[in-house]
């Protein structure tokens, strides 16, 4: 490592809709955003324990012209402001894939690992010491393809329906706060 470089740090890669918030089908306005109970506090605990937080979210509504990229960026800014007001922390990096899988193939749309790899590069994260939390099989697949230490399926959002499809070795928790409890116990040893 060169002078001034920092060692890659552990992180929690997190799906957005259905994991952090109620999945309101192509949501792009903060007025429609609803945290799942206990999520802001769980994010605060993870961040204060020294884990970076990177949200990785498929947002094909951009390509489908339901909303704009600017709408997504504004929503993420508003979520960060709300999280700062509640817990004194923000998300380290927001990554979204705007592509419509019916129109184009890309390297960023989950289950591809592109967003996680971009976050790892941009934020100096170590996937091998990190976790992926999501409510869909594609979240777990993206995490495994990026080399995360552990995928965690939450049973909120689509999680209940995806449970039987989870790869062997996947940790399953009721919700994101439960996933955070597991991560903190594992991380802090």
Q: Write down how long the chain is.
A: 189
Q: Measured between alpha carbons, how far is residue 159 from residues 7, 71, 107, 174 in Å? A: 34, 26, 24, 9
Q: In terms of Cα–Cα distance, which of 175, 123, 168, 125 is closest to 150?
A: 168
92 is catalytic: no
Instruction: Report the alpha-carbon distance of residue 9 to residue 122 in Å, rounded.
Output: 12
Task: Give the SS3 label for residue 58.
Answer: strand
DSSP state letters, 20-40? TB---SS---GGG--BPTTHH
Decide if 106 contacts 97 (C-beta within 8 A). yes
Decide if 137 contacts 165 (C-beta within 8 A). yes
Instruction: Report the alpha-carbon distance of residue 58 to residue 162 in Å, rounded.
Output: 17
Q: Which of 17, 23, 139, 175 is labelled catalytic?
A: 17
71 is catalytic: no
Q: Which of 15, 92, 139, 175 is labelled catalytic?
A: 15
Residues that are catalytic: 15, 17
């Amino acid at each position: 490592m060169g002078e001034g470089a920092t060692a890659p740090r552990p992180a929690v890669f997190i799906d957005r809709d259905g994991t952090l918030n109620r999945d309101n089908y192509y949501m792009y306005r903060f007025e429609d955003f609803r945290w799942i109970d206990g999520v802001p506090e769980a994010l605060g605990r993870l961040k204060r324990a020294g884990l970076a937080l990177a949200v990785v979210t498929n947002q094909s509504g951009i390509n489908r012209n339901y909303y704009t990229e600017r709408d997504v960026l504004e929503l993420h800014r508003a979520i960060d402001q709300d999280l700062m007001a509640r817990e004194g922390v923000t998300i380290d990096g927001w990554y979204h894939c705007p592509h419509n899988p019916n129109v184009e193939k890309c390297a960023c749309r989950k289950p591809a690992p592109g967003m996680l790899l971009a976050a790892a590069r941009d934020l100096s994260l170590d996937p091998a010491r990190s976790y992926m939390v999501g409510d869909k099989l594609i979240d777990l697949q993206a995490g495994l393809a990026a080399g995360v230490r552990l995928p965690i399926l939450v049973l909120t959002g689509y999680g209940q329906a995806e449970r039987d499809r989870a790869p062997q070795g996947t940790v399953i928790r009721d919700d994101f706060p439960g996933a955070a409890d597991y991560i903190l116990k594992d991380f802090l040893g």
